[in-house]
Amino acid sequence: MLHFFVVGILVIVTAILAYFGVNILWVMPAEASTQAVSIDWLWNIQMIAMSFLFALIVVPLVYSLVVFRRRKGETGEGEHFEGNTKLEIAWTIIPLFVVLGMAYIGAENLADTRRGDPNAMVVEVTGRQWSWTFEYEDGVVSDELHVPVGKQVLLKMTSTDVVHSFWVPEFRVKQDLVPGRVTELRITPTVEGTYQVRCAELCGTTHYNMVSDVIVSSQAEYTAWVSEQAALAAALDTPEGRGEALVAANGCNACHSIDGAQSPLGPTWFGVAGSEVALSDGTTVTADDDFLAESIKDPQAKIVAGFETQLMPTYTFSDEQVADLVAYIKTLR
């Protein structure tokens, strides 16, 4: 009986030390949303359970190896046990109820993080290789996510190519973006600041760089930003301005630089209009309006030398949008 008492005490002490040891090495990012509070509470419950189970397995094992080891000179056999039916029933039924309890807690936690607010602000999110686009109820489009603090935001998300995953570590919650479907994610930011949304699903060559800022500000600052963006959009209602907006909305600059920087994914647009472009078949062509328009409509028709292994996705732009894009490219000098 003494052994059971000693092991029990050691299990409790080891579980406490393991739990607080992990907390000292806390690696979780700061809580910055209402959902993060619920998820971190569940994580804490799981850490308590894991610390206890770790101690319950390791302590008896180590204790038995030390206390019941074969001493020098001992040659006999250890005491033989046929089994203990009551113990086997207990360690089957007790874990069953523990698992059911954890399942209930998990379901409650999930329902809490997905609980909707009828007054939630709606933002449409589009993911593509390898950029994000955010469209607000006011018609404003940006490549950064701006949200007011303390207000629930309903993100309606989709992808134009492959599966992506929206993840802001400080918000804890995560959701896949699936081509041809609209998935939803609710976040309620609680701390003002600038965070980053990352793609948490391996999605291609530049997956590592599919990052955008998430800016949480006061309601007044958010309203001022929306008004400013709406005014800028109205002021830029020219072919060049509309073309620039299309570039931002469709993530073109994820592959094509606009400042002359070289990218392995696509040729730079800086200074390309009117220049002589070397093609993969050994010929050259003048990058006039027709060539630029054709390259947007049918990207594989004429491939620029050095980019034979890259495959640009096909976009369904209208003729007017193509003309706007060409007008914008011609300004990049």
First CA to last CA distance, the chain = 86
Report how far residue 141's alpha carbon sits from residue 212's, in angstroms, rounded to the nearest whole number: 14
| More confident site: 81 or 133 | 133
Band of residue 278 on the pLDDT scale cut at 50, 70, 90: confident
Smallest CA-to-CA distance from 35 within 191, 211, 217, 144 is with 191
Which two structure tokens, joined as six digits, stand for 131? Answer: 């950029």
Sorted by sequence, the CB contacts under 8 Å of residue 131 that are 6+ apart come out as 143, 210, 212, 251, 253, 254
- Are 266 and 310 spatial neighbours (Cβ–Cβ below 8 Å)? yes
121-235: CATH topology? Immunoglobulin-like (2.60.40)
Report the run of H or E that residue 198 belongs to, with start and end: strand 193-199
Secondary structure of residue 56 in the 3-state scheme: helix
Q: Return the domain boundaries, the chain.
A: 2-63+89-113, 121-235, 239-329
Band of residue 237 on the pLDDT scale cut at 50, 70, 90: low
Q: So what's the pLDDT on residue 137? A: 84
Which two structure tokens, joined as six digits, stand for 230? Answer: 């709406």
Smallest CA-to-CA distance from 37 within 179, 166, 144, 191 is with 191
Say if 121-235 and 239-329 have the same CATH topology. no
Q: So what's the pLDDT on residue 184? A: 93
Q: So what's the pLDDT on residue 235? A: 62
Lowest mean pLDDT among 34-38, 128-132, 262-266: 262-266
Half-sphere exposure of 317 (CA within 13 A, CB side): 25
Q: So what's the pLDDT on residue 236? A: 63
Q: Considering Cα of 112, then 113, then 114, then 116, what sign does the dihedral take?
A: positive
What is the pTM for the complete model shown? 0.66
Band of residue 174 on the pLDDT scale cut at 50, 70, 90: very high
Lowest mean pLDDT among 42-46, 61-65, 258-262, 310-314: 310-314
Task: List the strands of the sheet with 211-217, edge to edge.
Answer: 145-148, 211-217, 193-199, 164-167, 174-177
Q: Considering Cα of 61, then 62, then 68, then 72, what sign does the dihedral take?
A: positive
143-153 average pLDDT score: 91
Secondary structure of residue 159 in the 3-state scheme: strand
Question: Exposed, middle or buried: residue 209 (CB in 10 Å: 0-12, 13-18, 19+)?
Answer: exposed
Which two structure tokens, joined as six digits, stand for 51? Answer: 């610390």
Band of residue 230 on the pLDDT scale cut at 50, 70, 90: confident
CATH number of the domain at 239-329, please? 1.10.760.10
